[in-house]
Structure 1
C-alpha cells in the first residue's frame, strides 16, 4: 500500500524519501484501511495501548474540570441541541459535536495528555473525545469504537510524520507556527467518526476531504500567553464529527485532498512534506506504539528538565545554594520553553508556567509535591510564590548539541547548576519517562488516573471506569454507561 521509503537505523525516514509521489490518492487508501479494520485485526499490544490512551485521557479530562476554560466550554455546549452524547462534567447529554468539543477542550487543557514522537503530536486529546461522542451518536459497539480509535490515531500520527523533517529533526508544522495536533487530529478524527457513522469507503474519503478544510491551529499562545490552545483539540474533535455528518448528508471531498497541488500538506507545509509516510506500511507498522504517557501536567519538553532538577535536589542541592542555573535543551524546543526569557522567568499563570523552562527547574528543585511534579505545582498561586520567582530569575535556557541530536525521538534535557561556593553540578536526562524506553508501570498509570479523578468521582465509579476500560472491545456496548459515569464527575465536591 503506497510507496516504500528508506528507513535509517535510528528509525528516521531518510531525506531521499521526501517529495516522492504516492502511488495512488491517499484519502481513498486511508478510507479502505479504516473501513476494513476490525477489532480482531489489532495486535494485542496495540489494543492495550489504546486502552491506556482511553483511561489516561478520561483521567486528565476529569482533572481539568477545575479550570475556568473548562467551565466555559461546558457552558458553551450545555443545552445547545439534541441529546446525543455525554460531555464530561454534564449529567445530561448534548449534541455529539458539542460533547466532542467540550471533552477535547478538557483533554488538552492541562497539557497532561499523551505525545507521539518524533511527530510531536498529542493524538488522543482529539481522537478519544471524537470516538466516544461518535460511538454514542451512531450507536456503535465497543469493538467498532476501538477499531475506529486505532484507525484515527494511526492516521493522525502518520499525517504528523508527513510534516516531520528528518534533516532538521523538527516538525515543519511547528516551524510554521501551526499546531500539528489539531490539524492532523481533525483529519484522523474524521476517519474515526466516519467509520462509526457507518459510511462506506467513498463516504469516509469524503469526510477526510471535508475535514481538511476545517483543520486549523496556531501556536503563538505557547510563546506569549492566552488560553486559546486549550480549544484546539475540542475544535478538531467537533470538526471531525461535523465532517462525518456532512459526508453522511451528501457532501463530498476531493480524493487528492491530502497530497494534491492544493491539498492539505501543500497548503500547510509547501514542499517540505512527505505524503507517502501516511500510507507506507499502513495496517502493518503501527506508529501508535510510539506514544508516550505524560507523568507530569506540563508541556512535554519540560519533563526531562523537571527530572534533572529533581535529581540534583535528591543529590543534595538546595535552592539557597544556587547562584546560577542553565537549562540545556534541544535547539528546536527553546522557542517554546525559553523564549522570550523574561516571560519564561516570570509566568503570570499556572498555564504559562506549563511552558516555562525556568519554572520546570523550580518545580524539580522544590520536590514537586513528592511526585516529581504534581498538578498543584502549576496553580496560579504557586507560580506567584516569591521563592519560586527568585529561583526562576537565576535560570537561562540554551541549546545543547547532544540534546539536539537526540531530539525529537526523545525530549532530553540537562540542568547545570553553579553554586554560591563555586561548585558546578550537572544532571542529564536523555530518555523521557512514559515512553517505550522508560514506560510507566500499570500501577503508575492507575495512580495517575486515581490522582486525576480524586474528589471528582466516588470510588465505585472510579473503579468501574478502570474495569470497563480494561476490557473495552470485548463486551457488549459499555460506552454509554462509561460516559454516564464521567458525565457525573462534576457533582463530587473537590
Structure 2
C-alpha cells in the first residue's frame, strides 16, 4: 500500500464522533472567525476584481459565494478563500520550521460540501481532516527553507478535505490527493521581497485546485500513486524523508492552532501586545520616540523583521505593511490598535507612521528562539528623545493555544469585521447557525452568507474602494 493510500484510508475512516467536544468547539470558533474575516474583505479592490471575473466566467451554480450568487465549487473555493485570506486576519499553525493557516481550507470544504447537499457533521469532519493533514505535514515535512511556500503541504490538505466533503471512496480520495500534491508545489518567492496580491491569493488558488482534483478523481481520473515516496516524488525532490502513521492520527489538531488577536502576521502578535503595554505606561509619548528596539525569535526576524526574506522598512502597500514588524509596531504605538483600518492606503503612507517605522530595529535573540514555537516571545524597548526607556515583554497572547479564544471573544471579532456588511440580526443568525452547525445543513450557513452585503452592489463596492 502506498503512502497516499494510507492517507486516503485515514480520510475515509474519519468520523464526526471522533472529534472531542473541546476540538468541536474550537472548530466552530474557527468557522465563525474565518467567515467574519471573509465578510470583512468584501469591499477590498482585489476581491471586487476577482468577483467580477467569477461573474464573467459563470459556472454551474452549485456553490454559494459570500455576498450572493452561485458558481462551480472550484471557483467558489477560490473566491470565498480569497475573501477569508485577504485581510491576513485568520488562524495559524506554527511548526518549528513551517507556518501555515489551516482555515485557508474552509473555502474548499464549504463549496464541496454544499455542492453535494452535505450536513454540518459531514462538513465539520472534512474540515477537521483538513486541519489534521495540513498541520501534520507541516510538522514533519517543512519546505520553507527549501524555497517552497506553505501552500505546498496545503495542496494535500485541500484535496483530502474536498474529497471527504464530496463523499469520495478511498481510491478516489487517494487520486485526488495525488493529483493536487503533484501539481501544486508553489515557490516561497510569494512571500519574499516586495509583496504582491498573490500573497493573499496563493492558498485560495491551492484550495481551488484541491477541489478540482477531487472532482476529477470523482470522475475516475487517476494521479501518481507514489506521489510521496516515488522516484522524483515529494520526498525525493522537496521534503526529504519523513514518516506519519496515519492509522494512529486523530482529529484534534485544531487545538494546536491559534487565532489572531491583531490584524497582523502571526509571529508579530506578542510583540504588538508588548507595544500596546508600553503605550499604556505613564509618561509615554509616541511623539517623543527616538528608537524602538525589538528582540524576537529567528523565524519572526526572517519573515517579517528584515531578515533573509527581505527588508521591511520600505512600505507602500497593504501586502508589505502586514508583513513588516517595523510598520506594525509603529502603527500600534501610534494608533493603539492594528485592525483593517491600519492598512488603508492613506494610513500606510502617512508621515507619522513612515517616520516612526524608520526608527524600529528588529534583532533575533538566541534565547527567545529557543522558546519558539512553544511560545511567541518578544522583548520590546522604546527610548524617548530625553533618554527615558520603556520596556515590555510578552510570551503569548489571547488566542494562542496557551490561552485559547472562547466563543464570546470570537463573536466580538466577528461582529467588528462583519458589521459594515451585515446588520446585527443577520450576524446573530450566522453566529447561531455556526454554533449549532452539527445539527444543521451546510446550506443553512451558505444561504445566510448569500444575504451578506446585499444592500451594496458590486458597482457600489467598487465606487467606495476607489
TM-score above 0.5, yes or no? yes
Correspondence list, 1:3-402, <5 A = 25-78=2-55, 79-89=57-67, 91-118=68-95, 119-125=98-104, 127-163=105-141, 172-180=142-150, 182-222=151-191, 223-269=193-239, 271=240, 273-274=241-242, 276-277=243-244, 279=246, 281-283=248-250, 286-316=252-282, 317-339=284-306, 344-368=312-336, 372-402=337-367
**Alpha-carbon distance, 1:266 to partner:** 3.1
For 1:474, which of 419, 427, 439 is the aligned residue?
Answer: 439
The change in CA–CA distance for 1:268 and 1:280 in structure 2 (over 3 A counts) is farther
CA-based RMSD:
2.0
Q: In the TM superposition, what whole-angstrom CA distance separates every residue of 1:407-443 from its partner, at most 9, and x where no partner exists?
A: 2333322211222222333211111331221223322
For 1:410, which of 370, 375, 395 is the aligned residue?
Answer: 375
Match of 1:491, SS state, is coil
CA distance in 2, matches of 1:282, 1:140: 24
CA distance in 1, matches of 2:32, 2:321: 26
Aligned to 2:464: none
**Alpha-carbon distance, 1:278 to partner:** 6.1
For 1:462, which of 417, 427, 434 is the aligned residue?
Answer: 427
**2:181/2:227 contact within 8 Å kept:** yes
CA distance in 1, matches of 2:311, 2:14: 47
The change in CA–CA distance for 1:105 and 1:278 in structure 2 (over 3 A counts) is farther
Q: In the TM superposition, what whole-angstrom CA distance separates every residue of 1:357-395 from its partner, at most 9, and x where no partner exists?
A: 111211221243xxx322211221111111111211111
CA distance in 1, matches of 2:265, 2:352: 22
**Alpha-carbon distance, 1:41 to partner:** 2.2
Match of 1:277, SS state, is coil
1:488 correspondence with 2:451: yes
CA distance in 1, matches of 2:279, 2:169: 57
CA distance in 2, matches of 1:268, 1:342: 23
Residue segments in structure 1 that go unaligned for 5+ positions in a row? 1-23, 164-171
Q: In the TM superposition, what whole-angstrom CA distance separates every residue of 1:297-325 from its partner, at most 9, and x where no partner exists?
A: 11112212211111111113211222111
Match of 2:439, SS state, is coil
Q: In the TM superposition, what whole-angstrom CA distance separates every residue of 1:86-143 from its partner, at most 9, and x where no partner exists?
A: 1212x22111110001011111111101001224110111x21111100111222221
**Alpha-carbon distance, 1:294 to partner:** 0.6
The change in CA–CA distance for 1:415 and 1:339 in structure 2 (over 3 A counts) is same
**1:304/1:414 contact within 8 Å kept:** no
CA distance in 1, matches of 2:329, 2:302: 17
CA distance in 2, matches of 1:331, 1:300: 14
Match of 2:453, SS state, is helix
CA distance in 2, matches of 1:288, 1:443: 18
The change in CA–CA distance for 1:412 and 1:217 in structure 2 (over 3 A counts) is farther
CA distance in 2, matches of 1:486, 1:420: 51
Q: TM-score, normalised by structure 1?
A: 0.87
CA distance in 1, matches of 2:323, 2:176: 34
Q: TM-score, normalised by structure 2?
A: 0.92
Residue segments in structure 2 that go unaligned for 5+ positions in a row? 462-466
CA distance in 2, matches of 1:109, 1:260: 36
CA distance in 2, matches of 1:253, 1:345: 44
**1:221/1:227 contact within 8 Å kept:** no
CA distance in 1, matches of 2:198, 2:106: 20
Of the structure 1 ranges 233-242 and 319-328, higher mean CA displacement relative to structure 2 is found in: 319-328
Of the structure 1 ranges 200-209 and 216-225, higher mean CA displacement relative to structure 2 is found in: 216-225
CA distance in 1, matches of 2:295, 2:245: 33
CA distance in 1, matches of 2:345, 2:388: 33
CA distance in 2, matches of 1:278, 1:215: 23
**1:159/1:278 contact within 8 Å kept:** no
CA distance in 2, matches of 1:389, 1:141: 49
Match of 1:439, SS state, is coil
**2:398/2:405 contact within 8 Å kept:** yes
The change in CA–CA distance for 1:199 and 1:280 in structure 2 (over 3 A counts) is closer
